[in-house]
Amino acid sequence: MQLRQYEDLLAQLAVELQRYLIGRGAKREVAEDICQDVFVKVLEMELVLPPGELRPYLYRVVWSTYLDDYRRERRYRELVTQYLRPEREQADFEIDEDLLSALDRLSARERELLLLRYDQDLSIREVAVRLKVTPAAIKMRLHRVHRKLKKILRRDGHERK
């Protein structure tokens, strides 16, 4: 294989790997950064693999790098929340037992949807990509889950606005 063909293959793989990560839930900027880091590492290692072995190797490295980045970011958010949140906010925070009880009555899919949207603070579009459905479907599902929670809380005698 000629050097130019190899370079074209690498350029094509970079785009392919970015799409792969975005399809698995990564933000575009994160996917671009991870792909760049992986290609820099591969070039620094002076790793020359045949085209048949290069693609699977890069997919594994990109995915494991993304998981490491995700875990590091999640841990960072936990530490910030735990140690940098003002004392007053921690004291004012009370768990609404009625709401927890209502959440327990939701299906696992419904709870996952709420966690993705509100706990992980993903946009409608990001949730749609993660769950492999359209943004319109996510909006409708969220609407239905909100309505269901409201109905459960009303039935238990706890009005929510």
CATH number reported for the structural domain that contains residue 140 in this entry: 1.10.10.10
**Pairwise pLDDT comparison (55 vs 160), residue with the higher score:** 55
Distance CA 126, CA 117 (A): 9
**Mean of per-residue pLDDT scores for the chain:** 82
pLDDT of residue 51: 73
CATH number reported for the structural domain that contains residue 44 in this entry: 1.10.40
**3-state SS class at 142:** helix
Domain boundary among 35, 68, 87: 87
**Is the domain of 101 the same as that of 33?**
no
Tell me: the pLDDT tens digits for 81-124? 776 655 545 444 455 677 777 888 888 888 888 888 888 888 88
Q: In total, how many domains does the chain have?
A: 2
Quote the longest CA-to-CA distance of the chain: 73
Q: Is a pLDDT exceeding 90 seen at residue 16?
A: yes
Q: Which residues of 21-42 are buried (b: 16+ CB within 10 A; e: fewer)?
A: bbeebbeeebbbbbbeebbeeb
What domain range includes position 141? 94-155
Instruction: Say what the pTM is.
Output: 0.49
**Pairwise pLDDT comparison (97 vs 138), residue with the higher score:** 138
Per-residue tokens: 131: 């769950």
**Is the domain of 31 the same as that of 61?**
yes
